């Protein structure tokens, strides 16, 4: 089955700096890679996703890059703000089969210091 590794487990940055979280996956058939944000005490919410037919996707201060050859993808947050503080989870899925199950990484606790 799929295995997703996520690094780092914790990340502390100063407000205004950039933050990068990296994930690797094991199943070369995986083709859908979402990122979820979970604020303290709240439910996870999708913030951005990318499919394997593109290498990069951007949404305002958030971007995700995908390297299919190396089987890794990364979340980039620029101009970080205190409200970006949360746990971020990456995930991978093979949407070509009939099982639409996401395999999640273990999460990264991002702290943005004002």
Partner 1 sequence: GAGVSQSPSNKVTEKGKDVELRCDPISGHTALYWYRQRLGQGLEFLIYFQGNSAPDKSGLPSDRFSAERTGESVSTLTIQRTQQEDSAVYLCASSRGGVVRAYEQYFGPGTRLTVT
Interface pick for partner 1 out of 62, 68, 72, 103 (rule CB under 8 A): 103
Q: Is 106 a binder of partner 1 (CB under 8 A)?
A: yes
Nearer to partner 1 among residue 69 and residue 98 (C-beta):
98
Nearer to partner 1 among residue 14 and residue 98 (C-beta):
98
Nearer to partner 1 among residue 74 and residue 107 (C-beta):
107
Q: Which stretch binds partner 1 (CB under 8 A): 12-20, 60-68, 72-80, 91-99?
A: 91-99
DSSP 97: S
Whole-number Å distance between alpha carbons of 81 and 89 = 18
Nearer to partner 1 among residue 17 and residue 106 (C-beta):
106
Contacts 24+ apart (CB under 8 A), 96-99: 96/29, 96/31, 97/29
- What is residue 92's three-state secondary structure? strand
Short-list 114, 59, 113, 112, CA closest to 86: 112
Whole-number Å distance between alpha carbons of 15 and 65 = 22
Q: Do 36 and 44 contact (CB within 8 A), yes or no?
A: yes
Q: Is 43 a binder of partner 1 (CB under 8 A)?
A: yes
Q: Is 111 a binder of partner 1 (CB under 8 A)?
A: no
Which residues are at the interface with partner 1 (CB under 8 A)?
A: 1, 32, 34, 36, 43-46, 49, 89, 93, 95, 98-107
């Amino acid at each position: 089955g799929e295995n997703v590794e996520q690094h780092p487990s914790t990340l502390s940055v100063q407000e205004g700096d950039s933050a990068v979280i990296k994930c690797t996956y094991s199943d070369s058939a995986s083709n859908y890679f979402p990122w979820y944000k979970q604020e303290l005490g709240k439910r996870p919410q999708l913030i951005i996703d990318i499919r394997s037919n593109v290498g990069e996707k951007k949404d305002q201060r958030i971007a995700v890059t995908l390297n299919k050859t190396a089987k890794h993808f990364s979340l980039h947050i620029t101009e970080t703000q205190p409200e970006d503080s949360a746990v971020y989870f990456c995930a991978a899925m093979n949407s070509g089969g009939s099982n639409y199950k996401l395999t999640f990484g273990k999460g990264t606790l991002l702290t943005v210091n004002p």
